[in-house]
Homo-oligomer: A and B are copies of this chain.
Amino acid sequence: MKLDTRLSLVLHALLHMAGHGRTMTSADLALCMDTNPVVVRRTMAGLRRAGLVRSEKGHGGGWTLGRELAEISLRDVYAALGSPAVFALGNHTESPGCLIERAINDRLDGALREAEALLVARLGELTLADIWSGIADPFMAHQQRRKDHSHDQ
């Protein structure tokens, strides 16, 4: 089944924005993420509505972070996307008349809800700053060199 990769996509965007340090356009981000600027804008729309990022139109416009990395949990980002369905597994009939099917739905739903609760809790424990701090030193050095160079110009 085809996966929903929007959470992965916007997390990638947010951390590239943090690494870049300045406004990035949808086209910049699309290049980093090997996708299309419209996909970036469409997917980031929820984050803008939630205040996690800001966007500016017009010449010199683009995307900036709306909060510190440490103040954005993965759960915040997931919620800003509209809390999309976590599971690919589901019930064959959602409100069945059959008592057998209802009993099955109840049990499966129970197990799925537990797993979803654990997942969302874990996402709530992780901030963008946690991920950022885990990124390997070589990359940090690379980013730093890029910043230094751009400041020279």
A16→B112 contact, CB < 8 A: no
Q: Is the CB of A104 within 8 A of B2?
A: no
Task: Report the interface size class on chain A.
Answer: 35 or more
Q: Decide if A12 touches B104 in the complex (CB within 8 Å).
A: yes
Contacts of A91 in B (CB 8 A): 3, 5, 8
Say whether chain A's binding surface is mostly helix, strand, loop, or mixed.
helix
User: Copy number in this complex?
Assistant: 2
Interface members, chain A 28-51 (any B CB < 8 Å): 32-35
Chain A 40-75 against B: per-residue CB contact (8 Å), 1 yes, 0 no? 000000000000000000000000000000000010
Interchain nearest-CB distance for A98 vs B (Å): 7
- Residue from B12, B15, B111, B126 within 8 A of A119 (CB atoms): B111
In the complex, the answer to whether B33 meets A104 with C-beta atoms within 8 Å is: no
Interface string of A82-123 (1 = CB under 8 A from B): 001111111111000011110111111011101110110011
A9 interface hit (Cβ, 8 Å):
yes
Report how far A111 CA is from B86 CA in the complex, Å.
12
